[in-house]
Amino acid sequence: MGKLTGFLEYDRRTAEELPCDARVQNWDAFHPAQSEDEICEQAARCMNCGVPFCHAGVTWRGVGSGCSLGNLIPEWNHLVFKGHFEEAFRRLEQTNPLHECTSRVCPALCEGACTNGLNGEPVAIREIERFLSDMAWEKGWVIPRPPKAYRDKSVAVIGSGPSGLTAAHILNQRGFHVTVFEKSEEPGGLLMFGIPNMKLPKELVRRRVDIFRQEGIEFVCGKDVGKDLPVSELDRFDAVLLCGGAGQPRDLTVSGRNLPGVRLAVPFLAEATRRVLAGDTEEKPLLGHKVVVIGGGDTGNDCVATSIRMGANAVVQLEIMPPAPEMRAAGNPWPRWPLVLKTDYGQQEAIWLFGNDPRTFETTAVSILGDETSGVTGIETAEVEWVTTERGRIPKPIESTRSRQEATDVLIAMGFVGAETYLPEALQLTLDRSAYATSRKGVFTAGDMRTGQSLVVRASADAKRAAEEVERYLGE
């Protein structure tokens, strides 16, 4: 372990983010890296437990715990404390091909399972991972490593999000000729067009994709297989791996849903990212607008922050669920992920800008007001009570609490119901969540396409296992 008494001597510390008044003026990242001394001190807190719950991703009573990728966290914490940074990084890249992304957008399931968190604050593992990743790129430790030889087998990977990139990397390393098909204009999937630039700078995604290209992976962009590219194009490959993201949003079924000004969250975020990539950040397309975001999760929070940077002069966030408790509930014990209330970066910025938390809990949209000419003019909401029925607990609007408020834009960020179905239908196959192989020989699936909406780290971990299945199939 790092330091025998480190967990007793040092407190948990994370980098201090830029203040809201500075960061809302641009689309830049606002979470700086910590210094070498701070990182070494934090690594010293790792106890190298006899059973390190942090690095083993498991599901316990329906709730995830620990790192899905199996990152060798105690090992690289010890090496960081000793100052062996390159060796620590080599441990990290053994298990994680997208460390520059996960160290910025992963909720850090590892920290939720850290033994220090049983009676105190967990080690700031994500900060250490970020430090190692940044140092590796800065010092040139991340270099292309193409396979020494290729086999006479090829694989098509459909989708270039975290699962597609991870699977392509592994299969390429194993010597297969890999072609990745991406429907957007450049690779990255939701890493590129679903996560705002201030959370995940796009030059990091592009830099990683460039390494994969130099290693021999071919990317075909702007081609949506099953729509503008016939599935017969896949016949020339020995195996196909479907890695499309959770592209079917959970939609809203209320009157006024189709009015101008009502948009789904991911296309809205993608449009904002394209503006940033094009350098078109001076214009404020939501200047003077009143935005209502429906959905209280990470995507909803991203919509709040994006709306602020686009000039909105009011942002409200509707959350149908009750607020999480301030502390772990009795039914949510360590080492399960702590389901506690957090105020994320977009909400922090709204509080600073507008003077109050944008979230309204246990509230739902009843109707959207307006007309085809003026677009959205308002929204009608109601508080809900959760009642138990034969279908389980469901939210029931309380009629006496109906109210109306002004709005010019409504962003639907209610999560996803699964991946798009047109590609499996075109391939005439069925998917099985319990298996990587589909009903069609030689066609496999991974990530959101197989499991439904999940985290970047889980999609990447799922792709690693799917790649093993593909390799096993091609070796038969």
Domain CATH code at residue 330: 3.50.50.60
Q: Is the pTM of this model over 0.85?
A: yes
Q: What CATH number is associated with residue 57?
A: 1.10.1060.10
**Whether pLDDT at 1 is above 70:** no
Q: What is the pLDDT of residues 332-349, one digit of tens each?
A: 889 888 999 999 999 999
Predicted confidence at residue 56, as pLDDT, reads 86
| Residues 273 and 409 reside in one and the same domain | yes
Q: What kind and span of H or E run contains 382?
A: strand 375-389
Mean pLDDT calculated for residue range 180-191: 97
CA 323 – CA 318 distance, rounded (Å) = 12
Say which residue the tokens 């309204």 belong to: 360
Cis peptide before 335 (omega within 30 of 0): yes
Asked if 178 contacts 217 with a C-beta cutoff of 8 angstroms, the reply is yes
| Residues 361 and 466 reside in one and the same domain | no
| Residues 207 and 221 reside in one and the same domain | yes
| Residues 79 and 187 reside in one and the same domain | no
User: Would 147 be classed as within a structural domain?
Assistant: no
| Residues 43 and 122 reside in one and the same domain | yes
Q: What is the pLDDT of residues 68-109, one digit of tens each?
A: 999 999 999 999 999 999 999 999 999 999 999 999 999 999
Mean pLDDT, rounded, of the chain: 95
For residue 212, the SS3 value is helix
Asked if 116 contacts 64 with a C-beta cutoff of 8 angstroms, the reply is no
**Whether pLDDT at 2 is above 90:** no
User: Would 159 be classed as within a structural domain?
Assistant: yes
Mean pLDDT calculated for residue range 171-188: 98
User: Would 357 be classed as within a structural domain?
Assistant: yes
User: Which of the listed residues 414, 429, 452 is the one where a domain comes to its end?
Assistant: 414
CA 419 – CA 421 distance, rounded (Å) = 6
Mean pLDDT calculated for residue range 427-432: 94
Tell me the backbone φ, ψ of residue 370, rounded to 5 degrees: 145, -165
User: Would 381 be classed as within a structural domain?
Assistant: yes
User: Would 39 be classed as within a structural domain?
Assistant: yes
Q: What is the pLDDT of residues 218-270, one digit of tens each?
A: 999 999 999 989 999 999 999 999 999 998 999 999 999 999 999 999 999 99
Sign of CA dihedral 334, 337, 341, 344: positive
| Residues 13 and 160 reside in one and the same domain | no
| Residues 278 and 229 reside in one and the same domain | no
pLDDT band at 391; cut points 50, 70, 90 = confident
| Residues 403 and 278 reside in one and the same domain | yes
Tell me the backbone φ, ψ of residue 464, rounded to 5 degrees: -60, -45
| Residues 83 and 97 reside in one and the same domain | yes
| Residues 135 and 31 reside in one and the same domain | yes
Predicted confidence at residue 262, as pLDDT, reads 98
| Residues 381 and 445 reside in one and the same domain | no
Q: What kind and span of H or E run contains 444?
A: strand 443-445
User: Which of the listed residues 88, 110, 139 is the one where a domain comes to its end?
Assistant: 139
Predicted confidence at residue 61, as pLDDT, reads 73
Predicted confidence at residue 4, as pLDDT, reads 85
Q: What kind and span of H or E run contains 181?
A: strand 177-182
Start-end of H helices in 189-264: 190-193, 202-214
Q: Which domain holds residue 184?
A: 154-247+417-474
Show the tokens assigned to 332.
């949510």
CA 366 – CA 231 distance, rounded (Å) = 41
User: Would 289 be classed as within a structural domain?
Assistant: yes
Q: How many domains does the chain have?
A: 3
User: Which of the listed residues 115, 139, 163 is the one where a domain comes to its end?
Assistant: 139
Which residues lie closer than 8 Å to 240 by C-beta, 6 or more apart? 155, 156, 157, 158, 234, 427, 442, 443, 444
Between the CA atoms of 232, 444, 251 and 324, what dihedral angle is there, to the nearest 10 degrees?
-160
User: Would 446 be classed as within a structural domain?
Assistant: yes
Q: What is the pLDDT of residues 314-333, one digit of tens each?
A: 999 999 999 999 998 988 88
User: Would 146 be classed as within a structural domain?
Assistant: no
**Whether pLDDT at 125 is above 90:** yes
| Residues 181 and 307 reside in one and the same domain | no
Predicted confidence at residue 476, as pLDDT, reads 67
